[in-house]
Amino acid sequence: MRSWQRMFVAVMRLLLKCLRLGRRRRFKLLRQVEQLWHYGNLCLRSLLYNSFTNGDVVLDSLFEPIYWLVDHVTRWFGVVFVALVIGLTSSIVAIVYICLLPLILQTYTPAWICWHLAYGHWNLIMIVFHYYMAITTSPGHPPQAKDDLGGVSICRKCIAPKPARTHHCSICNRCVLKMDHHCPWLNNCVGHYNHRYFFSFCLFMTMGCIYCSVSGWEMFRDAYAAIERMKLLEKERLQVAANQTYYQTPPPTFSFHQRAFHKSVVYLWVLCSSVALALGALTLWHAALITRGETSIERHINKKERQRLQKKGKVFRNPYSYGGWDNWKVFLGVDAPRHWLTRVLLPSPHLPHGTGLSWDLPPCVTEQRTPLLAI
């Protein structure tokens, strides 16, 4: 009896030892898995760690395929956009000369005729000149040799010197001096040497569209009412033809010239009003940036820098801003009072201040620039 008890106790002890050994092995296996997880997580963080990484960087990384697609589509369709601008502008000019100008010469007083002829042709010349200069003038690119520049960084995309205010254009695939943005309607970058042409084109195009919309408002109302009458008379003519009554005279119809005239006036007013609203908003936006001495890219950079310094109790000052009035003088190249006429109100191919490689104080600035940081 005792032998059976001893054997039972021995078996139970052996079973308990096996259970403890299995539990220890399971705990050891779990510890190994946990260590491998922490080690892999540490390796991944060490490879991908970046102190500047935030939600914006992650979002940009996720949208990188879309950016690549947009860059390539914009590059190939730039010529189409330029042709569209030229075609739409030419159609408006043709309608004005063929349809509206004879009517103006017949009905307006001599004073109003002189005003429309002078202002309309001046505005048209300014639009054509600045658009041509904007699409044909290079925005400016930094030299490839670093020996020519001092104290500049290197662009990580094109491995070339990158002076201050220079940014890489993924569509043109090269760095641009004082880059503002790549404009598909110009098929060109907006940079140091053609920024003034781009803004002047937007301004004068907006002014021209507003001029056409305001001047043609009464003509638009009459043309729209005439088109509605044409639709009504066409409906009545079809009803008469359907009744097949020979004693009724069909209502008179408008001639082809009248139809084309009224539809052209409606087309002109709708297109000019739409462009005036859209392009006017863009012009105001760039005017605000010019007043602050910033470009479109620098606005985002300065905003982040302003928020970063604000957390440290400091105030950010734009080193390229000389005050609202002086910023406009520098941007337009106004060094003397007569330049407001010869360089702003008349076509002028003068170069901007500086080379875009360094930013010394322009001679037209009356006050010294503010420091970069202020406590």
Whether 183 is catalytic is yes
Instruction: Give me the catalytic one of 99, 175, 183, 202.
Output: 183
Tokens of 49: 């760690």
For residue 274, what are its two tokens? Answer: 């739409």
Q: Is 172 helix (H, G, I), strand (E, B) or coil?
A: coil
What is the secondary structure of 123-151 as a DSSP string?
A: HHHHHHHHHHHHHHS------S-GGG-SS
- Do residues 187 and 79 make contact, with C-beta atoms less than 8 angstroms apart? yes
* Short-list 149, 279, 143, CA closest to 209: 279
- Within 10 A of 332 (CB to CB), how many other CB atoms are there? 20
Burial profile 175-210: b = 16 or more Cβ within 10 angstroms, e = fewer? bbbbbbbbbbbbbbbbbbbbbbbbbbbbbbbbbbbb
Chain centroid to CA 139: how far? 16
DSSP character at residue 163 = -
Catalytic residue annotation: 183
